[in-house]
A and B are shown apart, each in its own frame.
Chain A
Amino acid sequence: MMKLLRHKLFGPTVLAVLLFFAPLIISTYSVMILSEILIMGLMAISFNLLLGYTGLLSFGQGAFFGLGAYCAALMLQAGYQNLFLILLVGMLASLLASLVVGFFSVRLDEIFFAMITLGFGMLFFSIAHNWLDVTGGSDGLPVFVLPSLSLLGNEITFYEPTRMYYLVFGIVLLGLVLLWLIVHSPFGLILKAMRENKQRVSFVGGNVRLLRIVAFAISGAFTGLAGVLFCLFNSMATPEFMHWSFSAKPVIMSIIGGTGVFLGPLFGAGIFFVLEQIIIQYTENWMLFLGIVLVPIVLFFPQGVFGTLRNKIFKQGVK
């Protein structure tokens, strides 16, 4: 029994089953919150590919999230309705953008890397905010028609929150499986090696710069995917997605959840939104309480809430 509990796929499988049946039990409003948690969880786990696995603190992930969202909004406004085409284009655009940003940024480390990615992110924000003809400026781009999916001859639409949830669930699950495979591949192992000691990686013949660019681009592409989903979910793409305060969200979520565990950032996203829902019932000052909650988490949970608890329960050290 304990052996089954300890199996590394046991927890994720239970979680996926629970998430699949969740809409049967919880209210429509909660289903929408859960969709948002999944989308932001995908963004946070993509971000953690950089922070937790590669050791790079990116403060500009909002740029790629926003780019995915704008791609989706622009394509839908232009009349392209194919769901997969929209997802693909959004991902590709973010992939290209993150290749360019990564090319310039990865030679820097630590705080310098955080600052240059913050700078690039705000550059994208400035463009989105000021290129009125294309992006609609600070108002953003609204989406009126959602793409539909033909399955076995039936046309499935996503206007209903539960259907939107299953769309989000399916895509996020697919994204997470891909990311899991990447993290547990030899490539993922090299990323961890670079986090520990990039000089040694280059001594044994690893091209640190190229590997980092690839990691940055993968992270950017999946962040863009999350952005496309968020645009469909939210029916809106706004410049705020690209602002540094939005880029701070995956950082917060990853650290709340724990950067040393693959699903940690998803739990972080869950804690973030549940906290928000609880706090805004009592007060308008959600930021104040978020700050007050963050302080002890940073000080007393070095591996994040989920990571620290898991290590306590299973008494296993961090990898």
Chain B
Amino acid sequence: MSAVHVIGAGMTQFKPHPTVEVHELARQAAWAAIESSGVRPEDIELAYAGHAYQGQCFGQKVLLKIGMTGMPVVNCENACASGASAVWGVVNAIKAGQADIGIAIGAEKLASAKGGFTPLVADDLESSMGRVMPSVFSMMARKHMDRYGTTLDQLARIAVKNRRGGVRNPYSPWRDEITVEDVLAAPMIAEPLTRLSCCPVSDGAAAVILASDRVARRYTARPVEVRAAILASGIRNGVGMADDHSEMTIRAARRAYEVAGIGPEDVDLCELHDPFTIAELVHYEDLGFCAPGEGGRGVDEGWFDIGGRVAVSPSGGLLARGHPLGATGVAQIAEMFWQLRGEAGERQVPGARVGLAHTVGGGVTQIEAGATSVHILVG
């Protein structure tokens, strides 16, 4: 099967865009990706569009604005993993010989969501009980703190680190760094997570152009290879994500490392699913960057900073770049593309050669969560 490469990437700033409608946001990202790749619109043979709440045939409406019609377009909903699932779909379609060049688009506009939360899913039993995402991750935090002695200071340091990345990322809206004291003193959302321990709800879009091995080098001398693209879903576990580890992340990561022939010790750069500080810490362990229970110590010792064992969320991550659900997974791949080509500016991880992107999506009653993805890229 053909290797698949990223040959272009584009995104909008992640922030409230009250006057720009979502199809236009997605068009801006898609067009930026197309222009950066050097492909002509008519060379793109298929598209996946990831989003959670943007309505029917979203991708077709976006592509129509560019005049790209007639191709197979798959619209793809997997909650917060929708964009990553779109990338997975294009990678596999190219591997299967369906196309040489495809585009993955992710977008979301959530500024209209009431109360700063993602819309309540009325048919999900746990959601109807008043479960909001911060409460799930608060229970994850309680579990990890009880079992391993992880501290609130350690969790707060993750928010500080990621904000440092966000401030250096022109796609993030933030320009001010924060302190551990700021995080701990922010308004409480769900104990023990304060507002600065949670990602914001934002609007935004991202897109990447993917190409087969056969054609990638016609467009760029430096394609970024997608060495593994793994998608998985949660198993029935009775507690959802309120645990001290993510079984489905561990499972997907193991498979990704096996497929890529690369181990966690080889990863230079990681964009993981950090909608809440505790999630980032738990996923250090799930992805094999440290042993279970060592995440807190790793934060204290700078293992996950630029210059440490593996630079985690140098873009700011969901916490400090923002989290427009469907856009996030595609934005992670765009970040990998820029980082692994040395084009990430002030947030560049020096010499980064291997990157890992990870998302988790969807609270579903009775299973851990709806979806997880792990992509491993090599520059």
Are A and B genuine complex partners? no
Binding site for A on B (CB under 8 A): none
Binding site for B on A (CB under 8 A): none
